[in-house]
């Protein structure tokens, strides 16, 4: 028996174990099928089709209460809110759906539509860089980082196995750079996900003040559907910042955190 085939036979299961473990981790461990939530979702859909948008909204909300977390559910809930003239709430649910499914055409279209009908003009559309930055989900980014790390180890093994070889070295370098890219991308997005709090105005109108007191100077008036970034919380007041940089304190019940 030749040396290479004998050694190869040993290497294959080893790599198999590695890949299998990662795949097992990546494979979405689906939340236990929540029959109750699915039932409520279907019921909401039926009511929506029948034109009972308020009833549909109740069913969808009940499904969310039951613990279901699904972009389709959020999207449909956003639709039901919009149809019952809850503009801000619709934006909240669309935004939540977009976090889970950032490239969903329907979600994006409806968000654009709602932005067009709401009262406040937001500072410009997102640029292509911003859209590209938000396009992959966190899971996709982590999977890409892990995949490139796997490539790095595989290239290292190959390099050791063959003792020498420029191809394996090149693969090692490229894999390393790719891993660095995806890892930093994932880290940046994770940081944003964990630290950045966004909220949407869900009442018709709110007045932002210069401090967390009703007696403070009014800084600006904000209307339903406008998205803000929450920077700080103090009691029942939130320090929010608009996309154009304007900041002010809003009562917490004016906005809903996404």
Partner 1 sequence: MGATVTSGVPGVRPRPPVPAAWTCVVLVLWIMGATAVAAQPRFSARVDRARATQSEPIRLTLTLAADRSLNHVGAPTIDLSDFDVFGPSVSTRMEMVNGRTSFARELVYTLYGKRIGRYRIGPASLEFDGKVLTTEVVEVEVVRSRRRSSSSSSSSSGGSAGGATDGQDAGDAGGTTLEDVLFVRAAADRDTVYVGQQVVVRFDLCYRVTLRDVGFQEIPTFTGFWAKELFVAQRLSPQRERIDGEDFNVAPLRRVALFPTHAGRQTVEPLAVSASIPQGRRRGSLFDAMSLLDDPFFGRSQDLILRSLPFDLEVLPLPEAGRPDDFGGAVGTFALRADVQPRQVQVGDPVTLTLEVEGDGNLQTIAVPELDLPGFEVYDPTVEVQDGQTPTGGYGGRKTMEYILIPESAGRRRIPPVEIATFDPQARRYRTLASPAWTVDVAAGPGTASGGPAFDLTRSEIEQLGRDIRHIKPDVEHLGAPTPLYASALYWLAHLLLPVAFAGFVAYERHLRRLQGDEAYARRRRAGGEMTRRLRAAQERVGTGDGFHAALQEAVTTYIADQLNRPPASVTRDACRQLLRERGAGDGLGDEVDGLLERLEFGRFAPGSSSADERRQLLAEGEALLHRLREALT
Instruction: Name the site residues for partner 1 (rule: CB under 8 A).
Output: 3, 7, 10-11, 14, 17-18, 21-22, 24-26, 28-31, 33-34, 37-38, 41-42, 45, 48-49, 63, 68-73, 75-76, 79-80, 82-83, 100, 106, 109-110, 113-114, 138-139, 142-143, 146, 149-150, 153, 156-157, 160-161, 190
Taking the complex as a whole, the smallest distance from the CB of residue 103 to partner 1 amounts, in Å, to 14
Rounded-to-integer distance, Cα 62 and Cα 117, Å: 28
Question: Smaller CB distance to partner 1: residue 11 or 257?
Answer: 11
Rounded-to-integer distance, Cα 120 and Cα 117, Å: 9
Question: Smaller CB distance to partner 1: residue 113 or 232?
Answer: 113
Taking the complex as a whole, the smallest distance from the CB of residue 193 to partner 1 amounts, in Å, to 9
Taking the complex as a whole, the smallest distance from the CB of residue 22 to partner 1 amounts, in Å, to 5
Question: Smaller CB distance to partner 1: residue 143 or 250?
Answer: 143
Rounded-to-integer distance, Cα 107 and Cα 98, Å: 6
Structure tokens at 252: 């917490």
List of residues 6+ apart from 169 with CB closer than 8 A: 159
List of residues 6+ apart from 121 with CB closer than 8 A: none
Taking the complex as a whole, the smallest distance from the CB of residue 221 to partner 1 amounts, in Å, to 26
Rounded-to-integer distance, Cα 243 and Cα 121, Å: 11
Name the β-bridge partners of 237.
234, 251
């Amino acid at each position: 028996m030749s040396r290479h085939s004998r050694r190869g036979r040993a290497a294959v299961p080893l790599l198999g174990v590695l890949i299998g473990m990662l795949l097992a981790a990546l494979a979405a461990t689906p939340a236990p099928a929540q029959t109750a939530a699915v039932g409520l979702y279907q019921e909401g859909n039926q009511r929506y089709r029948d034109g009972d948008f308020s009833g549909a909204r109740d069913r969808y909300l009940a499904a969310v209460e039951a613990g279901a977390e699904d972009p389709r559910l959020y999207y449909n809930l956003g639709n039901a809110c919009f149809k019952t003239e809850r503009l801000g709430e619709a934006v909240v649910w669309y935004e939540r759906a977009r976090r889970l499914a950032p490239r969903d055409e329907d979600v994006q279209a409806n968000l654009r539509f709602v932005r067009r009908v709401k009262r406040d003009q937001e500072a410009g559309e997102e640029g292509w860089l911003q859209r590209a930055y938000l396009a992959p989900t966190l899971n996709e980014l982590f999977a890409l980082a892990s995949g490139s790390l796997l490539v790095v180890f595989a290239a290292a093994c190959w390099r050791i196995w063959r003792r020498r070889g420029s191809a394996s070295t090149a693969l090692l370098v490229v894999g390393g750079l790719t891993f660095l890219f995806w890892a930093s991308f994932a880290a940046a997005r994770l940081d944003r996900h964990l630290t950045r709090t966004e909220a949407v105005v869900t009442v018709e109108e709110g007045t932002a003040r210069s401090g967390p007191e009703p007696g403070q100077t009014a800084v600006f008036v904000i209307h339903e559907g406008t998205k803000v970034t929450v920077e700080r919380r103090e009691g029942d007041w939130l320090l929010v910042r608009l996309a154009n940089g304007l900041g002010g304190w809003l009562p917490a019940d004016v906005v809903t955190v996404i």
